[in-house]
Amino acid sequence: MRPVAILGIGQTIIDEQWEKSLRDIAAEAVIQALHDAGRESADGVFVGNMLSGIINSQTNLGPLVADWAGLRGGDAVKVEAACASGAAAFRSGLMAVASGELESVIVVGVEKMTDRTPHEVTAALATAADADYEADMGVSFVGLNALVMRRYMHEYGWKHADFAPFAINAHANAVHNPYARLRHKITLEDFERSAMIATPINLLDASPIGDGAAAVYLVPAASIASGTRILVAGSASATDTIAIHDRHEALFLTAAYQSTREAYRQAGVGPENIDVFELHDAFTIMSALSLEACGFAESGRGVQLGLEGLITPTGRIPVCTRGGLKARGHPVGATGVYQIVEVTQQLRGECGETQVPEARIGMAQNIGGSGATILTHILKRG
Question: Which residues belong to the active site?
Answer: 83, 330
Residue 302 Cβ, how far from its own copies at the closest point, in Å? 23
96 binds its own copies (CB under 8 A): yes
> How far is it, in rounded angstroms, from Cα 150 to Cα 282?
16
> How far is it, in rounded angstroms, from Cα 295 to Cα 253?
11
**Binding segment (CB under 8 A) for its own copies, from list 11-19, 85-93, 223-231, 271-279:** 85-93
> How far is it, in rounded angstroms, from Cα 335 to Cα 133?
26
Angle at 135 between CA 134 and CA 141, to 5 degrees: 95
- The DSSP secondary-structure symbol of 332 reads G
50 binds its own copies (CB under 8 A): yes
Binding its own copies by CB under 8 A: which of 34, 113, 126, 289? Answer: 126
182 binds its own copies (CB under 8 A): no
Phi-psi map region of 87: left, alpha, beta (phi>0 left; psi -120 to 50 alpha): alpha
> How far is it, in rounded angstroms, from Cα 182 to Cα 194?
15
Residue 314 Cβ, how far from its own copies at the closest point, in Å? 36
Residue 372 Cβ, how far from its own copies at the closest point, in Å? 4
| Count of residues in the chain | 382
| Residues ≥6 apart with Cβ < 8 Å to 34 | 8, 10, 40, 41, 42, 69, 106, 217
**Binding segment (CB under 8 A) for its own copies, from list 11-19, 190-198, 241-249, 357-365:** 241-249
Residue 64 Cβ, how far from its own copies at the closest point, in Å? 5
223 binds its own copies (CB under 8 A): no
140 binds its own copies (CB under 8 A): no
246 binds its own copies (CB under 8 A): yes
Residue 316 Cβ, how far from its own copies at the closest point, in Å? 31
Residue 342 Cβ, how far from its own copies at the closest point, in Å? 22
In the three-class reduction of DSSP (H, G, I as helix; E, B as strand; rest coil), residue 207 is classed as coil
Distances (CA, A) of 381 to 216, 232, 363: 16, 9, 12
290 binds its own copies (CB under 8 A): no
Distances (CA, A) of 91 to 4, 155, 230, 239, 381: 11, 35, 15, 14, 19
79 binds its own copies (CB under 8 A): yes
Residue 323 Cβ, how far from its own copies at the closest point, in Å? 25
- The DSSP secondary-structure symbol of 299 reads T
364 binds its own copies (CB under 8 A): no
* 282 and 207 Cβ atoms separated by less than 8 Å: yes
Binding its own copies by CB under 8 A: which of 16, 70, 120, 131? Answer: 131
State which residue, 21 or 194, has the beta carbon closest to its own copies.
Answer: 21
> How far is it, in rounded angstroms, from Cα 22 to Cα 89?
17
76 binds its own copies (CB under 8 A): yes
Binding its own copies by CB under 8 A: which of 169, 239, 339, 354? Answer: 239
Binding its own copies by CB under 8 A: which of 242, 267, 276, 285? Answer: 242
**Binding segment (CB under 8 A) for its own copies, from list 125-133, 216-224, 286-294, 355-363:** 125-133
* Nearest one of 72, 131, 76, 137 to 102, comparing CA atoms: 76
Binding its own copies by CB under 8 A: which of 3, 20, 31, 54? Answer: 54
* Nearest one of 297, 317, 322, 309 to 359, comparing CA atoms: 317
State which residue, 56 or 365, has the beta carbon closest to its own copies.
Answer: 56
Residue 46 Cβ, how far from its own copies at the closest point, in Å? 9
> How far is it, in rounded angstroms, from Cα 174 to Cα 222?
35
51 binds its own copies (CB under 8 A): yes
* 379 and 364 Cβ atoms separated by less than 8 Å: yes
> How far is it, in rounded angstroms, from Cα 332 to Cα 334?
5
State which residue, 124 or 146, has the beta carbon closest to its own copies.
Answer: 124
Applying CB under 8 A, the residues found at the interface with its own copies are 1, 21, 23, 50-51, 53-54, 56-64, 66-67, 72-82, 84, 88, 91-92, 95-96, 98-101, 123-124, 126-128, 130-132, 135-136, 237-242, 246, 255, 258, 368-369, 372-373
